[in-house]
Structure 1
Amino acid sequence: MALEITAARPDPALLDLPWELPLETWPEDYLAALPRGISRHVVRFVKLSGRVLAVKEIKADIAAKEYQLLRMLNRLDLPCVEPFAVISGRTAADGTPLDACLVTRHLQFSLPYRALFSQSLRPDTSTRLIDALAVLLVRVHLIGFWWGDVSLSNTLFRRDAGAFAAYLVDAETGELHQGLTAGQREHDLDIARVNIAGELMDLEAGGFLEAGVDPVDTSNRIVERYTELWDELTGLERFERGDRWRVDERIRRLNELGFDVDELAISTDIGGTTIQIQPKVVDAGHHSRRLLRLTGLDVEENQARRLLNDLDSFRAGTDRQNDDEEIVAHDWLARIYEPITRTVPRRLAGKLEPAELFHEVLEHRWYLSERAGHDTAIEDAIRDYVDNVLPNKPDEATVVGVDTVEMPVVAMFDDT
């Protein structure tokens, strides 16, 4: 059988990888030292042409289906990994057929949940991860995607200004529809609740779960958070004709949740005395899109909100409320954001991505100001942060320092 490569933009360097070997036996020279989660399939990270790729060994038909699904989800701007290629027609040196491989781009600065729990984190880490997963699940359901295997293991997490942003990793069991029924959504929620409870029990058994956290109660939170968010995004609201201000209030609430309102369905009753409002099409990213438009910075939603707050403070502090917003944003970028993020020495650049670094420096400045009893200049805050805080952070661009495959496991879940 001839080796077949399916890719939108194939990289000739793919041919240099040892496809004639089972993935679990690939030499260390090809591999990248990144934290691996638990998977029912063999997964390896490889270095290729200056990038890091995730390679998953699965059946050819499943690989082709997942590749196409991930391409569609990327086109729909859903937070998920980017498909790179499918390698099929593999054979060993003795002619034995080998499974195909799905290749995806590694999501830089992302971590599997087990790697996060291997670090020293805030006590409410499990809650914050589930909140992030609830937001992701709402987003996939809004576009008509039934996941079929919702879990922390099938998700990657990136830090987002003290919270986390969740990315879909495994679309192997998913289906894309025009829309989902209530039953399909509830099925995904049931799967999520059961899987998360098991995953948290694994962490508890290994001594990685914070004390006092009940895995079952915590897993039930995804149903509560999902329901709250879904109702806010899609629920009907009825009010008197004279209360039109409530339309703007509803939009602001959605924006605070990180969603834009693209269209509203507004209707009046027969007597014309009351109005019903329902968001028609919503999408996440209100703050990140505004920041991208103003500065060109493409960051997570909570990071964008925090950076925009600092931009607004800069605007007020320089008494430029009446100046063009884009000009002020350009000055803030040149005078505040870029000098601060460039202060980090090269040896520490892989610790945090720039937007998260800037958020942490703002937090550190507040801490220093509170301790000193007066305002601390951001230049002083970044120097103290680089000297005393950043060196102790794990390197999240490349290596976390713990192979999560080696952490104790009670049950197995998919996490590619």
Structure 2
Amino acid sequence: MGLPSLPGVSSAHSSLRFLEFYTHENYNSVAPSAPPAEAFQPPSLPQAIAVPLAVQAEPQVGLPFYQRKCFISMTLLAIGAVLGAVLSNSLDESGDTLVPVPGLGIEPQTSSPSEDPVAGQSAMESLVPSSSVVPKTKPTSNPNINPVTLPPTTSNIPIYLPTWPPVLTMNTSLKLLAPEGSADDWFGCSTAIYQDTIVVGAEKDDDNGLNSGSAHVFVRSGGKWKHQTKLLAPDGSEDGRFGMGVAIHKDTIVVGAWGEDDNGSSSGSAHAFVRTGADWTHLAADWTYQAKLLAPDGAAMDYFGRSVAINEDTIVVGAERDDDNGEDSGSAHVFVRTEEEWKHQAKLLAPDGATDMFGANVAVNGVSIVVAAHRDDDNGFNSGSAHVFLRSGEEWTHEAKLLARDGAARDYFGGSVAIHENTIVVGANRDDDNGEDSGSAYVFLV
């Protein structure tokens, strides 16, 4: 005879079993003798509950599962809150701040500007190789603190902190104009300064013919800047582009004229001027290669003079479209002065140059030369690079190749370069960090 069916409960005995609930008296009573099998009648049962085996398999000891899960979550949350408070107090006491590193997922910290905005400019840190651990820094009010110097590598990247430079207005600045300037002169296409003397190029001035070019000298006297003289190439000609590159050190000025044709169309040249008292005289007879500097192996379309730099008795002239390492691979030429005579000392090439326009920009500090190759492709098409050369005696050796660690295609890293003592600055005028072609600059220590 089958067992009585319960509402909503399956009759499959393999999946369910019944759990009887007896009164206290039934539980303590003596069970009656079992009747013969053929006469078995099931006892009258109180309300029964069907319990799945899977539920019975879990011992009902302690809290149910969902209650235990909630208890564990609350415990972990409390522990996290305590640890967070401890760490926060520790950081507040030590004053540690994170150093932002582009490309490593650490963003710049937001802080209030320094009381002295100029002192804030000293906050740029040293470069860090990719394999190095980024150190923590502590804020300081000392503007003369020296950053840690690490050897230059091809993967160096400067560490930067937000700075607040002073805002200059016309009360603290001055606008210089060419006394007889005219349309399309491009006055200001290049500039250079040494102490109280400024040089400004105007490569499309027409005094010696259309786009022959010029350079203007301003001196400061009694707190005012005054136009002192206008420099022209003695043999200037149409499309000479004299003034595209200018440089000055002490009483010597160098002016590049990349469009001149002495060694072929747009082979280029560079001119030197020295100052005696208040007068500037062109060093015509005192320069090797007759009246001006020329590349010994110059050829058409080299653009020798596209960039120039000078320090003491060393001049560097870039020829960005020289073809020694391939079309438009570029080169840079070094000239040195002995007494009043200038001689060609070396020709610098990029070890891996190829259509890189090595020599588009140059800088020199006496023992080091920086040459930009803003169309190098190591980090993508025209991502750019810069090369460092060191002098030992009369020899120049390639020391390092500088790349932007976060460089990308068309950044033009090397769009400008500068060096002072052991600090190098490289511009990337089409970097996109602040928007398309917003630009950036990188600082390296060597």
TM-score normalised by structure 2 residue count: 0.23
More strand by share: 2
Query: Rg larger in 1 or in 2?
Result: 2
More helix by share: 1
Identify the structure with bigger relative contact order (alpha carbons < 8 Å, sequence gap 6+). Answer: 1
TM-score normalised by structure 1 residue count: 0.24
